[in-house]
Chain A
Amino acid sequence: MCVGLSAKVVSVKDGTAMIDASGAQRAVSAGILEDLEPGDYVMVHAGVAIAKIASDDAQEADDVMEELL
């Protein structure tokens, strides 16, 4: 039940965001993420967008490994 779903925000209205996850669209709560905009990527958990996603994981791996090595 803790699996997150990454998705793109299609629209935001009245605290609800319509998201697109690999083609499947559904409405989720945007109640704990202010200033969401269409085009943002978010992590969704139990029907709630919990965090904005800043980059893809390849870029992230570069950043993490650069700091380590």
Chain B
Amino acid sequence: MNDSMKAARDIITSYDGKPLRIMEVCGTHTHEIFRLGIRKLLPPQINLISGPGCPVCVTAVGFIDEAIWLALEKHCTICTFGDLIRVPGTEMSLAGARAKGADVRPVYSPMDAVDLARENPEMQVVFLAVGFETTTPSACLAAEAAQKEGLRNFSLLTANKTMPNAYKALIGSADAFLYPGHVNAITGNGVCKALCTEHGVSGVVAGFTASELLTALAVTIKLLSTTDEPFFRNCYPRVVRDEGNPAAIALMNRVMEPCDNEWRGLGMIPQSGMKLRAEYADYDARLKYAMPVITGKPNPACRCGDVLQGKIRPCDCKVFGKVCTPLHPVGACMVSDEGACAAYYQYS
């Protein structure tokens, strides 16, 4: 541990001021803060709240139902990030659909799904495009590649989400946000700066190593306790630049456009999603397969929505650790490693 890390740790452990609520917006932050033992360093006045930044956790039940419809009714091959396979839909998960004969395959990248479609012209491949600004460029690259090659057996089922309006929906739920470093690597810092100057929201951009999380928390605690002014700091400058990644932003705007989007637990947030532009209609699975409107019904026992807004801790949910475990998840927050309920179950 170098001197800077020690100084950061000392700021955190010696804090004895007023109670502070700091929201880790990103699920990977939640997980890493637990895994690295940083939670144990925190004095009791510091309350870390888990936010909605796990893409698997905020994917709506209806989206899982749509994917299952494509798999079972249209016999599409579903390619997805692995975490999504066990997320409960209304009646079953994609794993359950697989047990009924559906072809569901985990992939590392959307480009792997394009490769699968190219190599297997008899298959109809659908990639489940979830994720925030960090992940959306990879789905856009896949759509562009498929169009360029003229692939007729590849499409995307989109549920891509964007953070700005979600931040606005969360205003007031914490004294400061730890912003997700890899979202800002793409978008830049403009949105977070505007939240600070226009809405009085404080926050810092955080990376993911022990040193990055300690310094980000130290900066947050120090500034919250010494100034009444809202603040913004980039504590992940080795990866995040003010302007973000302009080529990625241009790519997303070329291939997709904003749309209203449903977040599990938070409901419909206007203009908080991305869908394929009309030029890519042939690659939009909902249009290609004339999908009916499918509305999911979440399990009423699950309180993911309250967890994702920091209103309750996972252990306050009645079924946490009893009926709902990582092996038998009732809600999405228990499925993904980045989910708050899974992190609490694993580490506390």
Contacts and interface: CB of A to CB of B under 8 A. Distances in A.
Contact of B134 (A2, A33, A64, A67): A2
Nearest to B144: A31
- Interface size of B as a range: 35 or more
B141 interface: yes
Contact of B211 (A3, A4, A31, A58): A58
Contacts, number: 139
B131 interface: yes
Interface in B229-260: 233, 235-241, 245, 247-248, 251
Nearest to A44: B109
Interface in A18-69: 28-29, 31-34, 43, 45-48, 50-51, 53-69
Nearest to B139: A46
Contacts of B338: 1-2
A28 B185 CA distance: 17
B103 interface: no
A53 B3 CA distance: 22
Contacts of A4: 134, 182, 208
B182 A50 contact: yes
A57 B36 CA distance: 16
B175 interface: no
Contact of B110 (A46, A57, A63): A46
Ranked nearest first, the 4 interchain pairs of A and B with the lowest CB-CB distance are: A47-B109, A61-B4, A65-B4, A32-B248
